[in-house]
Structure 1
């Protein structure tokens, strides 16, 4: 039986057969394109195996099918996304226990920031209910109004207007003293009653819940519990000394529930996009360590996340959409921070003014295209509440001055906006967006004509003063009123009191939205409340200036990640250079973690046998994985260069170094003898390790710690472990359709043959001494030495390193190390539309290298650097493989 997405693909292909102009090649391309676009992502589960006989619900009135239909009818979920949710939820369900014999099962589901995690939670609950589970507990954050929103949403997702096979009961804060009595619960196997409890992550609430759950022991034994801990790295982690008997209160009460063996079945499933503390802090039977499984949620094809914004592996688009990130100059950053520290009023600096201007422009553009939903700007500069009020006054002052200037000289103000609109359009074109988001399933609206934007700006700036910028107003009946001006909000706990104005952010509900003449606009200023849970709707402008260096905190603050249907080209971000560098590293760190989990999932190992490893940052980025008291039992683990995939992106800006590398590369390749030609690649097979090692030793590179693995360490490691990698494949990678050709006179060549040099421009981070190209290799080059590599699926050729590694393994090439050599054209030109790219303009071509070392079947001790952290596995009766420990004081890297 075809899946629904396969059916849609088949339908499209069948309809295309009626087109008599379709050639065979075009038909083949169409088939492959539809298969790739509609195929469901492989579900990644790293765990101890299937634990139950659960089946995927198919009945029209099952909770899952009713919820599935709801997803299908929502605009932002494509058929492929819904299929992915279905597969992810079902595969997680299969790892749960449905009885008490094996004790509680503990798992972890890793999502992405604002990628639809709640939809996956609702899907798992629905499927579990259809398979006999009856008690569902969701811990939902630390903020009561967000808990209420989540409870309402999940209950509405599940109840299906009372028409489904299951009858859902939403229990609000149950306790012994009030509310629903446990002896009223209907929990027999044939009962259709299902109970949902969405609880605040609060000590007294969880303690009361536990006392309520165990009040009637007979009822407790009938409870088949699915306990979901949303944002599980927040407050649930034991930050007390893990070697003592004391535990933090919330962690203790969660464990009391999970480890009570009187339940008919108990499953604890932690959900988070930043799982570092969950896998690094502690392990053992009496902890919340995910001993049974770790599952990855794959975001939908329309998700715009770290990789899409901060960089891709393909050098043609290696910066992703990073041109939408604008820099806050260090001077302005310092001015804002000093003013906030001193409690002094300050004038909005130029970068903040530009961010506000873009918000107004984007709002006008979206309104001109009849966009009706909320449009927002977020300003996040400090967690102190006093600072939020200072920023609000600064923003309000600028907006009022802007309106006054418009009234005095409208042509001048509109001219400024027109120039900023043109600059904004140049930062991200529709063409670039579609090249980065290759699988995007929605129709992307291009920028509207300036005249349409101008009309909306005139309408906005002509609003009477009191209505142009204000807080959310309230009627005498307490109903919020939304106008066509700008709603200025401060979201922190200082503004919980209700008056005739509502200062905190609250978006209009469906009925209120229908009353709005134009899409309502919001500028929200805040700190910690903007970091988790709260979705900033229609976010088109972000001004971000937080100084934290913790990876999990930084990732959670990135509210600009997510789905942006209907305004894909509009979002812009302002941050300082330090923050941008950290997010670039976090993108690598996040992708590395996910790829490592996929590799573990391909083995027979479990989380109690091989602890997940988290990439540490190089010293110049200075990012901590998480707080020290959230990774207490983690240890630095040696990375032994097996599995290394290292590209050189930094080059000496010295003529002699360039000339030497060209000469040494020519000598090295000419000594290798016969080669194979594959397109624009020259391939030498069976090159001895000693030969490669000597060539690498002659290479003149940059002696900086910015490279994650230094060349001397690699060479030293190869000397000690060369028996594992006796023969290499060496590839000279070129570009273009000419392929391997006869070199012209005076052209760089290998025994008279050559390939066209690749083109790589330099970034604006380059200096007089160092050239930084940001990315070197193209993913498809890593397949050049595989016979029939041209037949590889496009999804592999354009994919991340994990997919390419798996493809090499399928083709029997997983044990062969590879050296990719690039000759980079000295005349490489930068994309004229890029703000952060420059022409290469060097006196000689550069030589770039990519070194790929496979993982051998037997791991060996070696000398290297500390690159990862992993928890010390303990208290499990299984063989351990948590990584080689190294003395942290002598490791050379923290």
Structure 2
């Protein structure tokens, strides 16, 4: 029986694809006499939406697709000035649909507004060409990909977010139909294990539709990784018909040389276009590589790159020819021999390459693609061009219409921070930072960056660390046995949930990663130890089950109860016990639960049978080194045991394989990692804190990019060539590739109206610390002895309504600047861009009258007080410098900063200064001041601070601060960052020669 109401709603929404209109009018016009009379009122829609939840949700899905598309629409004419993905945009949609309150509430419940950020784009100016009309004119492959994602269970919001992010890349490429040759080069920064492949598949689909006819994907340094990328593109985009190329799946004689058919259990899941695309008013795709065969040579030919022109007298890029030509796609390993063959073949092709719109996608672009960038070689004034980098450069020269887009998860990778290679793959045109995907489990899920500072108040419910992180040191035990027990328990819980139909599909893989060393001998010894421990663990004995029951009660039951109460969870270990037996059998299948992964060859990986795409169930413990730290995706990773150290920030980030999507089991994820033992281990031994430090830098950098991405008067505040000096604010080792080079862009000023300024690179030299402390003397002496109470606003996560006391002082703007302008820093010039801005708030840029200084006092239980110079007694604050760096992590307490921010935010709304906001008016700033002691947990704070007779030693303190200027502290330009160019004759060059060598 047909669903007439669904048909009417589907037709009406399809008719309103470009913009919402009065729904009742459109639906009535489409409901002709042949359609039985159906109630299409708002009341009927509300009733149907309520019933829809238990009936497959077909009507909800139709409305979800339409509402989400309108929510995400970029600057639509029907909602001028109303931001995407906001309550205001949704209200505008309902207004145009002429809906009342009841149906609005019903739709909001069924299809909530997707409150997610968009991609951040830092780019040079470009000529807009990829208009909505142009994009909508040809959508064959994008629609195929979109449909595949929907069938995989992607939400409409996730698909719309991908559509938006991939569009941001394509619109920055060159118009493939334009006559003038132009190469655009860009970098897309995602998150580790966050689905970057999904983005570049979307970019490929849109690029193909719009006219790019050669796609070269550089996919990994191992054939296993290359084959995974090939299969992903074949399955989700290229599709069955392009793979078969006319072969009959039912006739084995026609399938010679055709991959997947007959030996890939997911063949039926490959995109089906319902016919050869060329017969459906689209175009075919010819694959120049297959699942098992990398680029060998164009034996099939040079002819494989011969494009037939519908009109021979016109160039290929002319629309008459371009949109009738078949596309070529190849997924190529980043290997010298393979790329050399490709370059050699292209050199033999004449004429057409100059007309061929090409897209080169470089996956993991910071691996192998960039020039060697060794700090030791900087000192020798030399750089080395790697073989892969040279071959990519040759590809770009041979394909003058090629666009280069690199993908990486480490924004501080050499391809970005070392722009000495500006002539080839430096992202000179655009840098796009992808938003954190919905459902992604990343650094914020393992660190308590936004929690109050008191560890005693943390629980598995409010602390990410308490829920997921376990120190590997515990009274002499390295907890490897416990980690293995956790792996077995989590596998049993997965099986339990699968039996209870959550998630919809069974958990396919279940893995544990053990990462201790890069030495292969160590791997063999560790694997032997784990294998021995497994067989001696007594998992079938009473003692073994008693140990597992204790871990379940003490750990998993608590975390799952607090964080996954909506998922099936056993009421007792006895209920879980049968699943423990099944999980043990799966892990020990073949007699050995351990696989060592440390080889360098494709043959080695083939022997491991670790193809997560083609192998049905991999339930194993993986032991390895660098091969597990980059590119190789460990599917189903639930337990990680991590002891290895690394010094490079990007290496640390790439080793974070525990990041990723964990649908249905994120509460089961455990990270056993090296933690500092108070008073016995150095700070650099705390691997967990090292990860946190790197991630802080990355997140702060992403925030800066977002802040400066806003256009001012239609022009960018920041271009890719100006980004390296910003990174240098975070990482002191960032520098051009040779001593005779320098950054062309010099960061002059950073404006922060209404935003926190929190420098962290305080001196390590005690004499400098002492001089700085004495410079704060006049302001310290101004602090009142009377405590004032402050409360953080209730909506701030981690600091909801927290009340604290502080000593206060009111100082003039000139008094504060007098102190700030004298301070010394660990790195010269790091505070200068902020100081230039603050110094102008005397009326030059804007007028700030005074500052409210707060010296927060800790709770009495934690308070260690001391007089600093001539001050009243102040709370000393414990902080540690980030591992391997001179800078501290977060300075201000979350609740302190939230309260200060509220004072600034509320000041603009008060007509007169009152006691209710502590006298903070529209021209008053707020400063948080902390006498900071560098001390580890457990250390005697008084002793470290040199407290004698109630007074702290000025040389043992870093007088740290956070400043929040008033929102009014800016001019009408709204520009937040300012640069000056050192060599204006090379304005787009990221680096230039030093004056002595010019």
Match for residue 337 of structure 1? none
CA deviations 1:719-756 (Å, max 9, x no partner) are 89867675267569999xxxxxxxxxxxxxxxxxxxxx
Match for residue 269 of structure 1? 405
- Post-superposition offset of 1:66: 1.0
Larger Rg: 2
Match for residue 610 of structure 1? 722
Distance change >3 Å, CA 296–CA 506, structure 1 → 2: same
Q: Tell me the C-alpha RMSD between the 2 structures.
A: 5.8
SS at match of 1:369: helix
Distance change >3 Å, CA 821–CA 280, structure 1 → 2: closer
Distance change >3 Å, CA 295–CA 38, structure 1 → 2: same
Residue range with higher mean Cα deviation, 193-202 or 452-461 = 452-461
Unaligned runs of 5+ in 2: 1-18, 21-62, 72-86, 95-99, 242-272, 310-320, 499-505, 676-685, 763-773, 789-800, 857-874, 883-887, 911-919, 932-936, 943-949, 951-958
CA contact (8 A) 2:69 2:160 kept: no
CA contact (8 A) 2:285 2:326 kept: yes
Match for residue 745 of structure 1? none
Matched, 1:818 2:936: no
SS at match of 2:216: strand
- Post-superposition offset of 1:178: 2.2
Matched, 1:134 2:213: yes
TM-score after normalising by structure 1: 0.68
Match for residue 551 of structure 1? 649
Matched, 1:491 2:597: yes
1: CA distance, partners of 2:550 / 2:877: 27
- Post-superposition offset of 1:291: 1.0
1: CA distance, partners of 2:465 / 2:994: 37
Match for residue 450 of structure 1? 573
**Match 1:224 to one of 347, 357, 366:** 357
- Post-superposition offset of 1:878: 2.6
Greater relative contact order structure (CA < 8 Å, 6+ sep):
1
- Post-superposition offset of 1:142: 0.6
Distance change >3 Å, CA 585–CA 39, structure 1 → 2: closer
CA contact (8 A) 2:142 2:202 kept: yes
* Aligned counterparts, 1:697-776, within 5 A: 727=848, 730=851, 775-776=893-894
Distance change >3 Å, CA 718–CA 299, structure 1 → 2: closer
**Match 1:360 to one of 472, 478, 488:** 488
CA contact (8 A) 2:904 2:964 kept: no
2: CA distance, partners of 1:191 / 1:883: 45
- Post-superposition offset of 1:579: 1.2
- Post-superposition offset of 1:309: 2.1
Distance change >3 Å, CA 647–CA 314, structure 1 → 2: farther
- Post-superposition offset of 1:44: 2.8
Distance change >3 Å, CA 881–CA 355, structure 1 → 2: same
**Match 1:293 to one of 412, 415, 430:** 430
2: CA distance, partners of 1:124 / 1:140: 15
**Match 2:546 to one of 396, 415, 419:** 415
Distance change >3 Å, CA 30–CA 873, structure 1 → 2: farther
**Match 1:321 to one of 447, 455, 464:** 464
2: CA distance, partners of 1:433 / 1:50: 49
Distance change >3 Å, CA 429–CA 694, structure 1 → 2: farther
Distance change >3 Å, CA 27–CA 667, structure 1 → 2: farther
- Post-superposition offset of 1:228: 0.8
Distance change >3 Å, CA 47–CA 444, structure 1 → 2: farther
Residue range with higher mean Cα deviation, 63-72 or 849-858 = 849-858
Match for residue 612 of structure 2? 507
Match for residue 181 of structure 1? 302
Matched, 1:93 2:170: yes
Match for residue 237 of structure 1? 370
CA deviations 1:594-635 (Å, max 9, x no partner) are 1222233224345365233454699xxx99669989998669
SS at match of 2:221: coil
SS at match of 1:785: helix
SS at match of 2:962: strand
Matched, 1:526 2:624: yes
CA deviations 1:397-448 (Å, max 9, x no partner) are 1111113xx55xx3332222222223323774564689xxxxxxxx656676
Matched, 1:145 2:224: yes
- Post-superposition offset of 1:852: 2.7
CA deviations 1:796-819 (Å, max 9, x no partner) are xxxxxxxxxxxxxxxxx9996732
Match for residue 829 of structure 1? none
Distance change >3 Å, CA 790–CA 375, structure 1 → 2: farther
CA contact (8 A) 1:167 1:193 kept: yes
Aligned pairs, number? 736
CA contact (8 A) 1:489 1:504 kept: no
- Post-superposition offset of 1:772: 9.9
Distance change >3 Å, CA 450–CA 682, structure 1 → 2: closer
2: CA distance, partners of 1:297 / 1:663: 48
**Match 2:665 to one of 543, 559, 567:** 567
2: CA distance, partners of 1:815 / 1:305: 38
Match for residue 864 of structure 1? none
Match for residue 329 of structure 2? 196
Match for residue 708 of structure 2? 600
Match for residue 285 of structure 2? 168
SS at match of 1:269: strand
Match for residue 785 of structure 1? 904
- Post-superposition offset of 1:251: 0.9
1: CA distance, partners of 2:649 / 2:735: 6
Distance change >3 Å, CA 395–CA 24, structure 1 → 2: same
- Post-superposition offset of 1:181: 2.4
2: CA distance, partners of 1:765 / 1:280: 23
1: CA distance, partners of 2:331 / 2:614: 21
CA deviations 1:38-83 (Å, max 9, x no partner) are 56625534332345345464479610011011112213x3222211
Match for residue 752 of structure 1? none
2: CA distance, partners of 1:627 / 1:821: 36
Distance change >3 Å, CA 423–CA 559, structure 1 → 2: same
2: CA distance, partners of 1:568 / 1:143: 29
SS at match of 2:640: strand
Match for residue 526 of structure 2? 391
Distance change >3 Å, CA 289–CA 322, structure 1 → 2: same
1: CA distance, partners of 2:837 / 2:604: 66
Unaligned runs of 5+ in 1: 18-22, 333-348, 435-442, 474-484, 514-519, 651-656, 671-678, 736-758, 792-812, 825-835, 860-867, 888-894
Distance change >3 Å, CA 425–CA 704, structure 1 → 2: farther
CA deviations 1:63-119 (Å, max 9, x no partner) are 0011011112213x3222211110111121111112462532111111111111000
**Match 1:878 to one of 974, 987, 997:** 987
CA contact (8 A) 2:746 2:980 kept: no
**Match 2:195 to one of 112, 116, 120:** 116
- Post-superposition offset of 1:363: 1.0
Matched, 1:260 2:398: yes
CA contact (8 A) 2:216 2:332 kept: yes
Match for residue 666 of structure 1? 784
Matched, 1:469 2:469: no
Distance change >3 Å, CA 532–CA 881, structure 1 → 2: closer
